Amino acid sequence: MSDWNSGYVADIGYTHGFYRELTPVVLEFVATSKGLRSPDSAGAITYCELGCGQGYSANLLAAANPHIQFHATDFNPAHIVGAQALAREAGTENVHFYDDAFADFLERPELPQFDVISLHGIYTWIAAEHRATIVEFIRRKLKPGGLVYISYNCLPGWSPAAPMRHLMYLHGKAQGGPTIGRLDPALAFIEKMIGAEAKYFVANTALKARQESLTKQNKNYLAHEYLNDAWTLFYHSDVAAELGEAKLGYLGSANVLDHIDAVNFTADQKAIMDGITDPILRETVRDYIVNQQFRRDVFSKGAIPLTDSARREAWLEQRFALTVARADVSMKIRGGIGEADLHADVYAPILDALAAGPTTVRQLVDGTPAVAALGWNRLAEALVILVGSGQVQPCLPARGDAQRKKHTKAFNSAVLKHARDNADFQNLASPVTGGGIPMSRFQQLFLLAQEQGRKTADDCAQFAWDVLQAQGQAILKEGKPLNSPEENLAELKSQAATFFEKIIPLLRQLQIV
């Protein structure tokens, strides 16, 4: 390893992921759902992402929120070169990328004060000195009332697997050579230890399934997770104490389903939680109850409660949209206590109304008697649960859709061109949600075919197959490649027919097409 990377994996790139929790309107909704004030995501705010990786989230969010100035840094220059190239291709001018280490970024005099600072997948994977720099950055650069989103591996959920991760890391260090070449031997060594009935693995039987699942995951992600020099597990209380040095207090979870006790706790567990008044102890006990492995926390610098009237008005003005086809909405959710059913008498009227297009809570209540009849508390809880399930998204105000669409259209066109070569980018930008909508490579190729004048589903399928065939690629179905051109084309035609029937109408509502 060279000196500049401080032991962080830098010889292979990170994944090009988009993380919904970074979306400004989602962070605002987290605060609203907790009855607290936050920066107005529809306003001219400033946003900073620390450790932006490939910069895909920052690029997408900037395109979908042209009214916000985004600043993002990652110490790996290869990441920043790619991020800047995508911004140029899309013509996105409100995102600024830097290849600074955190200490250098802290000293940049041209940086503004920020309304939002986010760091996803960073805190666990850097040394203590760099965490201290992040805390100092937040202390200096976050405005009063601002929000911080931070994610990290946590205890006690990671406790059983942490020794396995440590063994993989040590095996990789002993192996030497490029990081990516260390991964398969480390996984094979764990498999050998399991087969030899090493008592640690015998005592932790779930690790066999974990090891098997790792062999199927993205290798770049696994190398960063399992072979990085710095890797620290935290209790929530640890992170709260460190961020307290920057005058931050815990606001809530970016996974808003965590806010719903009914799907996370049994009656006995809820009784324990209700008896705890200290907020840090309460969150830490919660992690023991649900055996939390990864936290997505939102902290604030001086958040104050909304008045009852302001909270109600914020809810009424909030717009929501379905992000899956109505026919594909799952009426089951998974919380801390397992799977739970969504009652049709509560959720069907809301979902049916949203199926007609994005709408505000005020419009839902005024236009749908069955929704109004639910009452305020049940309606608010139902919307939080639907957002938490990932099937509904909070949206930006409709008045800005047309202006935002100019930017998302240019960004999405740039992304679709990349689909010819690879499946790196898996989300498109929506001017409605101000965030990303998952879209597979094949679906992107269908859209690219439409951009180039193909009209029917079969024509789009043929276009996609021509792209794949020219690159010597075949479709994997149930883990196995399809052998003949006829099989590949038939599968693409089937997928394209479903795409035209279900997904295109949804994309129109989200103003992606």
Q: What tens digit of pLDDT does each residue of 339-351 get?
A: 999 999 999 999 9
Q: Contact 142/114 with Cβ under 8 angstroms?
A: yes
Distance CA 405, CA 144 (A): 31
Question: Is the domain of 330 the same as that of 414?
Answer: no
Measuring CA to CA, which residue among 109, 232, 210 is closest to residue 166?
232
Distance CA 324, CA 393 (A): 10
Cis amide linkage into residue 178, ω under 30° from 0: no
- What is the mean pLDDT of the segment spanning 8-25? 77
Answer whether residue 283 is part of any domain.
yes
Write out pLDDT tens, residues 127-155.
999 999 999 999 999 999 999 999 999 99
Cα angle value 427/429/434 (rounded, 5°): 125
Distance CA 256, CA 23 (A): 13
Write out pLDDT tens, residues 247-299.
999 999 999 999 999 999 999 999 999 999 999 999 999 999 999 999 999 99
Distance CA 108, CA 106 (A): 6
Report which residue type is found at 475: I
Q: What is the pLDDT of residue 281?
A: 96
Give pTM, 2 decimals: 0.94
Answer whether residue 139 is part of any domain.
yes
Question: Is the domain of 249 the same as that of 293?
Answer: yes
Question: Which whole-number Å values give the CA distances from 157 to 164, 233, 234, 292, 293, in the listed order?
Answer: 14, 10, 10, 5, 4
Instruction: Indicate the pLDDT class of residue 7, thresholds 50, 70 and 90.
Output: low
Question: Is the domain of 149 the same as that of 272?
Answer: yes
Q: What is the pLDDT of residue 14?
A: 60
Question: Is the domain of 71 the same as that of 144?
Answer: yes
SS3 of 11, please?
coil
Answer whether residue 5 is part of any domain.
no
Write out pLDDT tens, residues 426-468.
999 999 999 999 999 999 999 999 999 998 999 999 999 999 9
Write out pLDDT tens, residues 50-81.
999 999 999 999 999 999 999 999 999 999 99
The residue out of 363, 398, 433 marking a domain boundary is 398
- What is the mean pLDDT of the segment spanning 204-223? 91
Answer whether residue 9 is part of any domain.
no
**Strand spans (E) along 172-318:** 249-253, 294-300
Cα angle value 287/291/297 (rounded, 5°): 40
Distance CA 484, CA 465 (A): 12
Question: Is the domain of 130 the same as that of 254?
Answer: yes
- Domain of 204, in residue numbers: 162-226
Question: Is the domain of 189 the same as that of 236?
Answer: no
Answer whether residue 6 is part of any domain.
no
Instruction: Indicate the pLDDT class of residue 4, thresholds 50, 70 and 90.
Output: very low
Answer whether residue 69 is part of any domain.
yes
Give the chain's domain count: 4
Measuring CA to CA, which residue among 371, 77, 122 is closest to residue 231?
122
Answer whether residue 21 is part of any domain.
yes
Q: How many CB atoms lie within 10 A of CB 124?
A: 21
Question: Is the domain of 331 the same as that of 461?
Answer: no
Measuring CA to CA, which residue among 431, 413, 487 is closest to residue 86?
413
Answer whether residue 104 is part of any domain.
yes
The residue out of 181, 201, 226 marking a domain boundary is 226
Question: Is the domain of 87 the same as that of 117?
Answer: yes
Distance CA 445, CA 489 (A): 13
Question: Is the domain of 116 the same as that of 220?
Answer: no
Question: Is the domain of 200 the same as that of 142?
Answer: no
Question: Is the domain of 143 the same as that of 28?
Answer: yes
The residue out of 300, 327, 355 marking a domain boundary is 300
Question: Is the domain of 337 the same as that of 422?
Answer: no
Tell me the sheet residues that pair with 48.
71, 117
